[in-house]
Amino acid sequence: MKDSMKVIFVWRGPSPYRVDFFNELGKYCNLTVMFEMRPQDISDKKQSWFNERFVNFDAIYLKGRRLFGRVWFCPDVFDYIKEMKNADIMVVGMYSTMTQALLSLCLKMRRIKYILNSDGGFIKRENLLARSLKRFLIGGASAYLSSGKGTNKYLQFYGARNTIGIYPFTSAFEYEIEQKSNLSDKTELKNKLGIYEDTVVLFTGQFIHRKGIDVLLKSCVELPRNCGVYIVGGSPSAEYMTLVNQLKLHNIHFVSFKTPKDLQNYYGAADIYVLPTREDIWGLVINEAMAYGLPVITTDNCLAGLELVEDGKNGYIVETDNTEQLSKCINKLVLDKVLRAKMGENNKLKMQDYTIEKMALSHIDFFQKVIG
pLDDT (tens digit, 9 = 90+) per residue, 170-183? 999 999 998 887 76
Whether 284 is covered by a domain: the verdict is: yes
Across the range 177-200, mean pLDDT stands at 89
Residue 94, pLDDT score: 83
User: What value does the mean pLDDT take over residues 319-326?
Assistant: 98
Strands 199-204 and 272-275 come out as parallel
Q: Judge if 148 and 217 occupy the same domain.
A: no
Same domain for 180 and 127? no
Beta strands 58-61 and 65-67 are unpaired
Which pLDDT belongs to residue 276?
99
353, 289, 277, 283: which is closest to 315 by C-alpha?
A: 289
Q: What percent of the chain has pLDDT over 90?
A: 84
Assigned domain for 269 exists: yes
Give the β-pairing of 65-67 and 71-73: antiparallel
**What CATH number does residue 202 fall under?**
3.40.50.2000
- As a whole number, mean pLDDT of residues 97-101 equals 94
E-assigned strand segments in 29-134: 30-35, 58-61, 65-67, 71-73, 89-92, 115-118
Interatomic CA distance for residues 367 and 372, integer angstroms:
8
Q: In 3D, which of 113, 100, 139 has the Cα closest to residue 371? A: 113
Is 99 within the bounds of a domain?
A: yes
Host domain of residue 288: 174-352
Domain count, the chain: 2
Residue 1 confidence (pLDDT):
56
Q: pLDDT at position 184, please?
A: 66
Q: Is residue 49 part of a domain?
A: yes
In angstroms, the CA 148 to CA 146 distance is: 6
Q: For residues 139 and 155, give the distance between their C-alpha atoms in angstroms, rounded to a whole number.
A: 8
Query: 335 and 366 share a domain?
Result: no
Q: Which residues have C-beta within 8 Å of that of residue 242, sequence separation ≥ 6? A: none
Q: Are residues 339 and 220 in the same domain?
A: yes
Report d(CA 287, CA 305) in Å as an integer: 9
Mean pLDDT score across all residues of the chain: 94
Q: Is residue 208 part of a domain?
A: yes
Predicted local confidence at residue 246, as pLDDT: 97
Are 70 and 184 found together in one domain? no
Which amino acid type is present at position 99?
Answer: T
Residues 366, 239 share a domain: no
Residue 1 belongs to a domain: no
- The reply to whether 96 and 182 lie within a common domain is no
What distance in Å separates the CA atoms of residue 72 and residue 63, rounded to the nearest whole number?
A: 10
CA 37 to chain CA centroid, Å, is 19
In this prediction, residue 46 carries a pLDDT of 78
pLDDT tens, residue by residue, 13-60: 999 999 999 999 999 999 999 999 999 988 877 788 888 999 999 999
Say whether both 16 and 104 belong to one domain.
Answer: yes
Residue 109 burial by CB count (10 A; 0-12/13-18/19+): exposed, middle or buried? exposed
User: Is the domain of 23 the same as that of 86?
Assistant: yes
Pair (149, 182) in one structural domain: no
Single out the residue of 136, 135, 139, 165 nearest to residue 152, CA to CA: 165
Residue type, 204: T
Within a domain: 299 = yes
The verdict on residue 336 lying in a domain is: yes
Is residue 86 located within the same domain as residue 205? no
The CA distances from residue 70 to 34, 38, 42, in Å, are 21, 16, 12
Q: Place 314 in a pLDDT band, splitting at 50, 70 and 90.
A: very high
Q: Check pLDDT > 70 for residue 2.
A: no
Average pLDDT in the 342-368 region? Answer: 97
Measure the CA–CA gap between 120 and 206, rounded to whole angstroms. 19
Greater pLDDT, 1 or 140: 140
